[in-house]
Structure 1
Amino acid sequence: MQASFSLQGKKALVTGASRGLGQAMAVALSKAGAQVVCASSRAKGCEQTLSIIRAAGGEGKEAVADLSDSAAVEKLAQQAQGAWGGIDILINNGGTIFRSPAIDYPMQEWRRVLQVNLDAAFALCQTVGRGMLQRQQGKIINIASMLSFSGGMTVPAYTASKHAIAGLTKALANEWGQHNVQVNAIAPGYFKTDNTAALQQDKVRNEEIRSRIPAGRWGEPEDLAGAAVFLASPASDYVNGHILAVDGGWLAR
């Protein structure tokens, strides 16, 4: 059974790997045996992640790309695939958020959020996916959200992008499953990350969120490790087009 969860010999690319959820997933893949390309938007942004990976005896390399720049995204895909000769596991975690009432939402921010959260993810799926289809094996994990299921407040672009990520995941699964490429998504619940800092600091909203979670607490980045390894490993070979909520039970309530 343990071999089913092994990533030994696999090569992975994780975007948004400098901290938080991306860092936790990159470290988890490495501990399971994968060589990991850790990508972030700034040079040396993944130094801490790489130091954790290497301290545990793993192998990691850094890549840099502004996900709002389509040329940079294409370059990232090529660089990652050239690092160790192909990518077996792609985790599209890099993302951004902008908060504003919908009536005043700047179109510039709308376009930027969609470019980073959706366009870049599709471009990486497409470019990295070509190699997976040729080799007849691969795992793609898109990062969805609780806002893939609901609307949220003051985050219309983020919500639209995460609904789209859920749909894209299913669309690619339909086309690529026959080629032994599984495309799934993880929908994190309320986790302690930079993206949720404003909610954590709002005492009333923080307590409203915590009290609705059956687990009775916010998620920690490490809570995503098992789901990421499962969806990246042979253990999930017959799981395709699924949106896996890791939310402490939020959706059940």
Structure 2
Amino acid sequence: WGRRGGASSSLAVAKADANARGSILPNAASDSPIYPKDLPPSMVETLSELLPSQYVASYDSSAQSYALSPSVDLFSVEIDDEYGPDALATPFGPVSSVPLRRELPDISPDIYALFGLSGGLGCALTHTVVVPLDVVKTRLQTDPDAYDGVLDGAVTIARDEGPAALLLGTQATIAGYLWYGVSVYPSYSWFKHVLAKDILPPEVAAVHANDVAIIAGALSAVVASLGLTPLEAARIRTVADPDTYRAGGVLGALTAIADEGGGVRTRGGG
């Protein structure tokens, strides 16, 4: 639009359309379009055509703003389920007329049980799959001079002690991580629910949702570690000294460790 004649002609068309459709412009004598100043005047008419035929953009002198006339029925565009029956139309879209509320779900014992079952099976399975890697890792930590690396450690253990040696500590691993999964997931959900609903004020819990999740996760990890730590100690002893601890299984290893002193079973637990 480099020529004033073209712009003036289009603006005249827009004014005529405005007068015909209900005073879209605030002042028929004004050269200012109803849209941003940097918008070509010819687009005033084009954008108006985007409105459904039953609506016009009318200027409200009391509010000094433009609005669709008649008012938009929000139910006709199927948003009442999300915003409520008293939703309000704004230039930025529909807005609920009441503050947004989010109710915390009440988790039933059955759901907690499913959390525990799923977590226990998942943790036990995934950690059992990597038992051979755990065996090599533990040997490298307890006797680093005997092996040149992970691959050499696996080959040496299988050659000198038999392939079954790569499965040392499997019982303790299954028991430990079965307990870990059974306890950590339900307790995380429970701690999160209690913190957000019973301990902290709602406005604090809503603003600090991430902090609530972190605290709940830390507390649930403490609960899970109380059972995992003794079993992990039994696993490490069985892998590091199979001649002493393998024959008795996980219970025998725990008993032998307990005989050494009451605090040995939870050493490393904090």
Same fold (TM over 0.5): no
**Structure with greater Cα Rg:** 2
Decide which structure has greater helix share: 2
Decide which structure has greater strand share: 1
User: Whose relative contact order is higher, 1 or 2, with alpha carbons under 8 Å and at least 6 apart?
Assistant: 1
When normalised by structure 1's length, the TM-score is: 0.22
When normalised by structure 2's length, the TM-score is: 0.21
